Amino acid sequence: MKTAIAATIRNAGFEDAGAIYALIKEHPREVVPRAISDIVQNIDRFLVCETRGRIIGTAAWQILPEIGKALNPSIEIKSVSISSHYQHKGIGSALVKAVIQRIKRFHPAQIVVLTFTPEFFRQFGFREVAKETLMHKLYMGCINCTKYDSPFTCPEVAMTLAVGKK
Ligand SMILES: CC(C)(COP(=O)(O)OP(=O)(O)OC[C@H]1O[C@@H](n2cnc3c(N)ncnc32)[C@H](O)[C@@H]1OP(=O)(O)O)[C@@H](O)C(=O)NCCC(=O)NCCS
20-58 pLDDT per residue, tens: 999 999 999 999 999 999 999 999 999 999 999 999 999
49 close to 9: Cβ distance less than 8 angstroms: yes
Show me where the domains of the chain are located. Answer: 8-162
The answer to whether residues 18 and 67 touch, using CB atoms and an 8 Å cutoff, is no
Q: What is the CATH number of domain 8-162?
A: 3.40.630.30
Statement: the pTM of the whole predicted model exceeds 0.85? yes
Say if ligand 1 is within 6 A of residue 8 CB: no
**pLDDT tier, 166 (very low <50, low <70, confident <90, very high otherwise):** low
SS3 content of the chain, % helix, strand, coil (to 5): 35, 25, 40
Can you tell me the distance from the alpha carbon of 127 to that of 132, in angstroms, rounded to the nearest whole number?
Answer: 15
Using the predicted structure, report yes or no on whether residue 69 has a pLDDT greater than 70. Answer: yes
Cβ of 151 less than 6 Å from ligand 1? no
Strand 54-63: give its sheet, edge to edge.
Answer: 8-11, 46-51, 54-63, 75-82, 110-115, 157-162, 127-128
Pocket probe for ligand 1: among 87, 119, 121, 122, the residue whose CB has the most ligand atoms within 8 Å is 87
